[in-house]
């Protein structure tokens, strides 16, 4: 898409990238109104949370789980200078699937986790790619008895990648790893080894739903 074509199709009031994400989510969750969390003060004007929003869907595929999707790592709004780029801003959004223990589970901690990851990206200028490995420096959920203490990333099995007027966006799904899995990978922390671990998990957990009780 050329800049001229972009100007003809969109106006400055259009959330071009956001709407591209929404259309993809509607394909998977038609008619479902997600929970949506937005920071009280936008990051650009002094807020602490870089992500513009996080939507949470309820899924019963494979087993009941919450499916989180971020808005903010990619270019969300009208931006002529981003037209026709190879990647939209950082080129990805994060997703996360959390096993549902009960319908009214406290899920705010996941939003904090996602915003913490966003702070790292926005402040360092570095981005995540498939099979990156990150220690959580403790339980992924503070104050909860869980052995999930590290994270990796893979393409979300339902969303994959999309092309937008601002460039490509990959939906990178966070995969929770146990302490023993991380310690083993730490000895040889290369993406190919992390990929093998994620693929082993995928054999019995196709959607790679993170279960906080997994050992």
Which two structure tokens, joined as six digits, stand for 138? 């403790």
Low-confidence ranges of the chain (pLDDT < 70): 103-104
CB neighbourhood size of 185 (10 A): 20
pLDDT of residue 41: 85
Concatenated DSSP letters of 55-106: EEEEE-SSS-EEEEEEESSS--S--GGGTT-SEEEEEEEEEEEEE-SSTT--
Q: What is the pLDDT of residue 106?
A: 86
Q: How far is CA 27 from the centre of its chain?
A: 17
C-alpha–C-alpha distance, residues 111 and 205, integer Å? 23
* pLDDT at 35 (0 to 100): 95
Half-sphere exposure of 67 (CA within 13 A, CB side): 22
pLDDT for the residue numbered 105:
77
Predicted pLDDT at 103: 64
């Amino acid at each position: 898409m050329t800049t001229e074509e972009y100007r003809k199709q969109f106006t400055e009031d259009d959330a071009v990238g956001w709407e591209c994400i929404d259309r993809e989510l509607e394909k998977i969750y038609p008619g479902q109104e997600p929970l949506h969390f937005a920071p009280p003060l936008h990051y650009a004007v002094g807020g602490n949370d870089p992500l513009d929003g996080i939507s949470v869907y309820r899924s019963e595929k494979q087993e009941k789980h919450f499916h989180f999707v971020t808005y903010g790592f990619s270019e969300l709004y009208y931006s002529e200078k981003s037209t026709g780029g190879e990647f939209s801003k950082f080129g990805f959004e994060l997703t996360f699937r959390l096993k549902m223990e009960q319908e009214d589970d406290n899920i705010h901690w996941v939003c904090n986790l996602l915003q913490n990851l966003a702070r790292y990206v926005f402040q360092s200028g570095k981005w995540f790619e498939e099979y990156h490995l990150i220690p959580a420096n403790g339980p992924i959920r503070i104050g909860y008895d869980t052995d999930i203490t590290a994270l990796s990333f893979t393409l979300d099995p339902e969303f994959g990648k999309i092309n937008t007027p601002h460039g490509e966006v990959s939906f990178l799904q966070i995969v929770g790893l146990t302490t023993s899995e991380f310690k083993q990978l730490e000895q040889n922390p290369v993406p190919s080894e992390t990929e093998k671990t994620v693929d082993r998990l995928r054999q019995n957990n196709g959607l790679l739903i993170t279960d906080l009780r997994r050992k």
